[in-house]
Structure 1
Amino acid sequence: MKTDTTLRITRRQYRQLAELAKVNGLGLTLDTFTNLGGIWGEYNCWAQPIIRDVSSDSRLCDERIAIKLATSVNAGAFRGAHRPELDWAALEDDEVFPFIVSHEIGHHIDNFTYWDIALMPDMAARDECHKVINRVNEMLADRYAWEQVRPGEPLPLSETGKRLQEVMAADLELLNKHMPRTRRSPKALPSGQYAYVPASMLRTDELAAFVGPHVCPAQIEHTRNRHRVHRRDSRLRA
């Protein structure tokens, strides 16, 4: 089914998608569309604290990358988004959140990296690669997500995608020539509703409820106190 309504993530959906992220070595956090700056998902290569077991009062954490997902998506606006190749209008309502999470996972495991551009000795090639890397990475993340949501089905090309097929193929060839990407084989994080949860998911009661009813209260208090102290210290340094 396709609608133009605002889709809202449920607690059950979050827990299912968090497991999908962990299979790919990532945590999953939630935030509002507004706080995310008007986007529905975000990948950032910098690690953040991931609590090993939020159902206990143990403070053991690891540092892992976590992707972000908006808690709400305007389905009409989502389907009307301009993409370099894929037509998001082909997605059904129940595919939107899994697609966004898979898209961000795709950025993690099958993208070109800016670090490789910085190491290129050929300045002219570096400049050319820098011009196209963003849209090629978006194309690759879309391709990855489509294969997860609709395995084996042909890519539905947008009008822009049809028009830019040759251009995008040339951009991909350029990057493969000068900075071939290494596809990651991520190490899965431990599974389980309360295992390896990003600390940021405990910063409000609303977010903690997405994790589950058995989050340890002491764990929540510790996480929030630590966050408050960090903010206070930051102000003092400023």
Structure 2
Amino acid sequence: MKTDTTLRIGRHQYRQLAELTKQSGVGLALASFTKLGGIWGEYSSWTQPVVRDVSLDQLQCEDRIAIKLATSVKTSVLRGAQRPEIDWSALDDGEIYPFIVNHEIGHHIDNFKHWDIILMPDLDLREQCQKVLYRVNEMLADRYAWEQIRPGEPLPLGETGKRLQEVMAGDLELLDRHVPRTRRAPKALPGGQYSYVPASMLKTDELAAFVGPRVSTSLIERARDRRRVHRRDTRLRT
């Protein structure tokens, strides 16, 4: 079903999607659409603190990659987004959040790496590859997500996708030839509702409630005190 509405992620759905991301070796954090700068999901190869077990009082962190997901999505705006290939208006309401998360997972496991291009000795070729990298990676992430949501179904090409089919195929071939991506099955993080939770999910009581009722209250206080000390120390050094 497709409606013009604002979807808001619930606690149960967050926990389901967090287990999905952990299977691909990354955590899942939430932030408002505004705080994410007007996007619905974000992937970065930079790591952030992830707590091994938030039900324990001890703050034990590892540096891990974590996907960020918007807490709300306006369906009409998302379906109107201009994409390099796929028409997002094909998504039903119930498919939107799983698609966004799988799109970000796709960036993690099936994308060309920016650093591989930076290290290319041929400057002209490097520039060519850099020009097409973003849209090719977006195309690949969309393809990955669509296959997870609608396995075996043809890609729903948008008008841009139809118009740029040959161009995008050429861009993909360029990158495949000069900086071939290595597809590796990522090592899964330990599963479980309270395992490997991004420390940012302890910032507020509202965010911690998404994780579950057994999040350690003393751990929350310790994590927040740690951030306040860090900010204060940072100011003193400037």
Q: Quick check: TM above 0.5?
A: yes
Per the alignment, residue 215 of structure 2 pairs with 215
CA-based RMSD of the aligned residues comes to 0.7
The Cα shift of 1:184 comes to 2.6
Per the alignment, residue 134 of structure 2 pairs with 134
State whether structure 2 residue 201 is matched by structure 1 residue 205: no
Per the alignment, residue 32 of structure 2 pairs with 32
User: What SS does the corresponding residue of 1:132 show, helix, strand or coil?
Assistant: helix
Inter-partner Cα distance in structure 1 for 2:91 and 2:160: 17
Per the alignment, residue 103 of structure 1 pairs with 103
User: What SS does the corresponding residue of 1:215 show, helix, strand or coil?
Assistant: coil
Give 2:18's aligned amino acid: A
Inter-partner Cα distance in structure 2 for 1:193 and 1:218: 18
User: What SS does the corresponding residue of 2:83 show, helix, strand or coil?
Assistant: coil
* Runs of 4+ more than 3 Å apart: none
State whether structure 2 residue 190 is matched by structure 1 residue 190: yes
Inter-partner Cα distance in structure 2 for 1:147 and 1:15: 22
Give 2:56's aligned amino acid: S
User: What SS does the corresponding residue of 1:183 show, helix, strand or coil?
Assistant: coil
Inter-partner Cα distance in structure 1 for 2:189 and 2:232: 32
User: What SS does the corresponding residue of 1:169 show, helix, strand or coil?
Assistant: helix
Inter-partner Cα distance in structure 2 for 1:179 and 1:86: 24
Per the alignment, residue 149 of structure 1 pairs with 149
Inter-partner Cα distance in structure 2 for 1:235 and 1:183: 43
Inter-partner Cα distance in structure 2 for 1:189 and 1:58: 19
- Judge conservation of contact 2:59–2:219 (CA < 8 Å) in 1: yes
Structure 2: unaligned runs, 5 residues or longer: none
State whether structure 2 residue 177 is matched by structure 1 residue 177: yes
Inter-partner Cα distance in structure 1 for 2:180 and 2:174: 9
The Cα shift of 1:231 comes to 1.4
Give 1:214's aligned amino acid: R
Give 1:43's aligned amino acid: Y
Inter-partner Cα distance in structure 2 for 1:237 and 1:67: 31
Give 2:14's aligned amino acid: Y
